[in-house]
């Protein structure tokens, strides 16, 4: 943490592309620091969407308090404004108790809005942000928090290997059955959560529009494309301190 920013609330941030091991590192640090995790992942908010989102295990959720995990029904929208407002309150509460929260995730807009201090105009009718005003960071060149912002990175071949392996593991662990259960429980096919990578492709498989192997490859490809978009987003955040992710 920067001593010159001692008056600011303290915060640790772990970010990076999907499958770089962010959650494992966050758990390790949270246990060491006796603190709480703030999830910056737009899919983990949805109840019962577990396998396809790589949601933390029940054991991890019991060992360390996680915020923004399993908080919404699948048809609800959780906006960047919701995240920024609620996360700010959590960070302030923990800092008052002399604890440093850990923000972890790959949804770049959530993290950037939080630590750079975005100000937003009203949302449109679909809950999307219409326009953001200039941020605190752009006005002052400083983050809102005294923050250690750690990025995890891997070379492309290793990252893609992990993505492909994790995708296959999701299907081996029952992603198709999870989607069936969600549909049987009344979750609509066009629900917000069903638009996530892994879920929309599995719906196509259940409709007979692809074989299982084709579906696994489609999910892997969509995830690799998402990782590219994440890397592009994070490149604009010049204050990230990058580290190579730990080996499997």
Task: Give residue 179's pLDDT.
Answer: 98
Each residue of 223-242: pLDDT tens digit?
999 999 999 999 999 999 99
> Which tokens in the block code for residue 19?
């499958």
- 12 forms bridges with which residues in the sheet? 102, 148
Task: Give residue 128's pLDDT.
Answer: 62
With tokens 């949804």, the residue in question is: 107
How much is the average pLDDT of 25-47?
Answer: 98
pLDDT at 104 > cutoff 70: yes
Residue ranges of domains in the chain, CATH in brackets = 3-154+232-244 (3.40.50.300), 157-226 (1.10.287.890)
DSSP label at residue 98:
T
Does the model's pTM come out above 0.85?
yes
Q: What percent of the chain is modeled with pLDDT above 70?
A: 93
pLDDT at 70 > cutoff 60: yes
pLDDT at 1 > cutoff 50: no
pLDDT at 57 > cutoff 60: yes
- Asked if residues 236 and 93 have their Cβ atoms less than 8 Å apart, the reply is no
pLDDT at 17 > cutoff 90: yes
pLDDT at 130 > cutoff 70: no
Task: Give residue 121's pLDDT.
Answer: 73
pLDDT at 6 > cutoff 50: yes
> Which tokens in the block code for residue 16?
């990076």
pLDDT band at 2 (very low <50, low <70, confident <90, very high): very low
Average pLDDT score over the chain: 93
- Residue 222: left if φ>0, alpha if ψ -120 to 50, beta else—which one? alpha
How much is the average pLDDT of 121-144?
Answer: 76
How much is the average pLDDT of 94-111?
Answer: 97
pLDDT at 5 > cutoff 60: no
Q: How far apart are CA 38 and CA 104, in angstroms?
A: 6
> Which tokens in the block code for residue 47?
């109840």
Each residue of 179-202: pLDDT tens digit?
999 999 999 999 999 999 999 999
> Which tokens in the block code for residue 239?
């204050």
At a CB cut-off of 8 Å and minimum separation 6, what does 204 contact? Answer: 210, 215, 218
């Amino acid at each position: 943490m920067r001593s010159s920013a001692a008056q600011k609330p303290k915060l640790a941030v772990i970010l990076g592309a999907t499958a770089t091991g962010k959650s494992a590192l966050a758990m390790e640090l949270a246990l060491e620091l006796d603190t709480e995790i703030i999830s910056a992942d737009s899919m983990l908010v949805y109840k019962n969407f577990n396998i396809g989102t790589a949601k933390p295990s029940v054991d991890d959720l019991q060992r360390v308090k996680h915020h923004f995990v399993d908080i919404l029904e699948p048809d609800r929208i959780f906006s960047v404004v919701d995240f920024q407002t609620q996360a700010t309150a959590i960070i302030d509460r923990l800092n008052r108790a002399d604890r440093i929260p850990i923000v972890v995730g790959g949804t770049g807009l959530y993290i950037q809005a939080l630590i750079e201090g975005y100000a937003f105009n009203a949302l449109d009718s679909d809950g999307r942000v219409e326009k953001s005003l200039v941020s605190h960071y752009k006005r002052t060149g400083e983050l809102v928090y005294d923050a250690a912002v750690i990025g995890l990175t891997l070379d492309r071949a290793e990252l893609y290997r992990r993505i492909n392996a994790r995708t296959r593991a999701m299907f081996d662990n029952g992603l198709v059955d999870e989607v069936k259960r969600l549909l049987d429980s009344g979750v609509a096919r066009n629900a917000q959560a069903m638009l996530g990578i892994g879920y929309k492709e599995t719906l196509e498989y259940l409709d007979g529009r692809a074989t299982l192997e084709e579906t696994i490859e489609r999910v892997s490809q969509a995830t690799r494309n998402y990782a590219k978009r994440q890397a592009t987003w994070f490149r604009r955040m010049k204050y990230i301190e990058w580290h190579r992710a730990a080996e499997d």
